[in-house]
Structure 1
Amino acid sequence: MTPSPGTGDTKRERRDAAREKARITREAEAKRRRRNKWFAQGGLVLGTLAVIGVIALVITRSLVPAGPGPLNMASDGLVLSGDGTTVSAASTDALAADATPTASAAGTAEKPSIVVYLDYMCPYCGQFDTTNAEQLATWVSQGSVDLEIHPLGFLDNASLGTKYSTRSANAFACVANYQPEAALDVNTALFAQQPAENTSGLTDDELITLVQGAGADDSSIPACITDGEFTDWVASATERALNDPLPNSDEAKVTGTPTVLVNGQKYGGSLTDATVFAQFVSEVASGESTADTSTGGAESTASPTP
């Protein structure tokens, strides 16, 4: 019997409506799945790009070379000599980034070479310099010896995070680069105002005041100190000193500071008696001594760790 008008859809119409509803539901579900798949793929791509970006950044930074060294320190040290009245520094080009240093000339019996590897935070270095600064300055000024100063930065972790060893070594390098004739007085002043280990050390402004007070008043030095112009070189020079053979000697590397070499022979005597060191220099120059193995104290490079 045919349903009368207004009583509802026919069976076919209800079936067709159900099929249409199912079709719409299937298409919506298919769109949802495609959308989720796209988001997942997109997220994967973005994540991959992010990882690639980080890797690229690390690689790029690792490929950035260390900064060039200061003028007049192609050996990683500054060589000071005198003509009887004044002290001057040997003039050399700046050491290119990651280049191999050029060793200075070896000392002779007539004019011994005194080479000092030091850290401006090291108390034993301070003892050695305080004891011997005056006679070293006299010997150098008279032209009796050449003095080669190698500033290191291995005691950075003994300055409460301020990296004073590196900053003070950089300050010395700034003087060597811009006003090397003042370097010996600056070296003495850095030890005269040496901070104790495990303190923050001098600020950059205080380092500027210190070097200016010691006669290094070139207008380029303050910015060199505050900008850390040679801190990369300090790190490289320190790494070389702690791992490579020391030129003109039988020493395999620096194992403690101060490391003091006289014509390549390591001094191990008193750090607080100038006459003992003077006698050692005299004996080495005359060929009477091969080494001094007595203990005088030294800051080990093994503790604190560089």
Structure 2
Amino acid sequence: MTDNASDDKTLTKNQRRAAARQKAQAARKKQKRRQRTGRVLLQGGIALALVAVVVIVVVVITNSIRPAGPGPANMASDGIRIGQDFVADTTPALAADDEPVPSATTAASDTVDIVVYLDYLCPICGQFEAANNEYIAGLVDSGAATVEYHPVAILTNQSVGTRYSNRAANAAACVANYSPNSFFDFNTALFEQQPEEGTRGLDDAALSDIASGIDGVVDPARIATCIDDEEFGSWVTAATQRAIDGPIPNSTVETLAGTPLVLVNGQRYDPSLPFTNEEFRNFVVTAAGNSYADSSTATPTPAPAESDAPAEPAESTTPAPTETPAS
């Protein structure tokens, strides 16, 4: 058997040293090549990571400085007002840099103004709707009252990252823009199918299905595209901030501190919980009566017929009638 050891015996001492040096030099060169390759790969990885970070930063900055888009038609006040036969007031869309125009009050006539600021994820808003939606519908349909809905998104962080409050408010804006006379029914349906706070909420397809399922809705395909694209998403953010900053038009309320905020002829409704329809209808008659007494006119007649029974109190485990805006 022949090996390197036997071969080395035939070499002189100097030859063996020279051979050892050659082997050592070859090993060092190989190690240097590995080190250079590692540095190149490391530097390339760092460069790619830096590029990814830069891209993310650019996207974030771009999104943060991107100007707000125009608002939906029929919501020039940041809300949509609905009158007799559930017909919405029509208004042009606001440009991105326009200030909202408060709706004209009807307090000098025999029509009561009801204004509701709501978040579609807010459980207390759902309780208010369950107790009073049918009553409000009767007043509006008969012409005894108008109702103006202001969808806001203060519970953005309460839907496991899906931003349900924003998406639902955007869906409402889409309906206001493309099928305004369907808004009351869409608003009702959103609360009938309201998800629980802290859940993912309804996805965009479900929101589109609700809209398309309303009798008489106009252009459901266009509404579905509006919902998918969040066409009025930036408007939702801007309108919410305007409400939080205040003041609330046509009232003495300075800012939106929580939802629901309910105004009747500019007077704030401060309910006891659980909600009862009897309490709210009494407040409507009182607020309307006070307003008309001040203007030396007859008391309006928004009170329901005697045959209408108060709705059963809505169950509630919530300790307060308003919710703190999410940060």
Shorter-chain TM-score bucket reads 0.7 to 0.9
Q: How does 1:51-90 map to 2 (within 5 A)?
A: 62-82=64-84, 86-90=85-89
Q: CA contact under 8 A between 2:168 and 2:207: conserved in structure 1? A: yes
Equivalent in the alignment of 1:169: 169
Unpaired runs of 5+ in structure 1?
1-49
Query: Secondary structure at 2:98's aligned position in 1?
Result: coil
- For 2:130 and 2:205, the matched residues in 1 are separated by 24
**Quick one: structure 1 residues 56 and 119, their matched pair in 2 at CA, closer, same or farther if it must change by over 3 Å?**
closer
Identity score, percent:
47
Q: Name 1:286's counterpart in structure 2.
A: 289
Alignment of 1:141-160 (within 5 A): 141-160=141-160
Which of structure 1's runs of 4+ aligned residues deviate more than 6 A? 52-59
Residues 258-297 of structure 1, C-alpha deviations (whole Å, 9 max, x = no match): 000011110012452111101101011110899xxxx993
- The equivalent of 2:234 in structure 1 is 232
1:127-161 CA-partner distances (Å, limit 9, x unpaired): 00111111111111111111000000110111000
CA RMSD of aligned residues (A): 2.6
Distance across 2 between alignment mates of 1:155 and 1:53: 29
Give the Cα–Cα distance (whole angstroms) in 2 for the partners of residues 121 and 214 of structure 1.
21
Contact 1:122 1:299 in 2 (8 A): no
Alignment of 1:86-125 (within 5 A): 86-108=85-107, 110-125=110-125
**1:241 equivalent in structure 2:** 243
Larger radius of gyration: 1
In 2, the alpha carbon distance for the partners of 1:105 and 1:200 equals 38
Which AA in structure 1 matches 2:288?
A: A
CA contact (8 A) 1:254 1:301 kept: no
Query: What is the CA–CA distance in structure 2 between the aligned matches of 1:189 and 1:97, rounded to whole Å?
Result: 29
- 1:257/1:105 Cα in 2 relative to 1: closer, same or farther (>3 Å)? same
Partner of 2:225: 223
**Partners of 1:285 and 1:122 in 2: how far apart?**
27
TM-score, L = length of structure 1: 0.75
Matched, 1:211 2:214: no
- For structure 2, the residue ranges without an aligned partner over 5 or more in a row are 1-50, 295-317
Instruction: Give the TM-score, by structure 2 length.
Output: 0.71
> 2:56, 2:205 → 1: CA distance?
36
Aligned to 1:18: none
Q: Does 1:300 pair with 2:299?
A: no
Q: Partner of 2:268 in structure 1?
A: 266
Contact 2:178 2:218 in 1 (8 A): no
Code of the aligned partner of 1:301: T
Query: Number of aligned pairs?
Result: 249
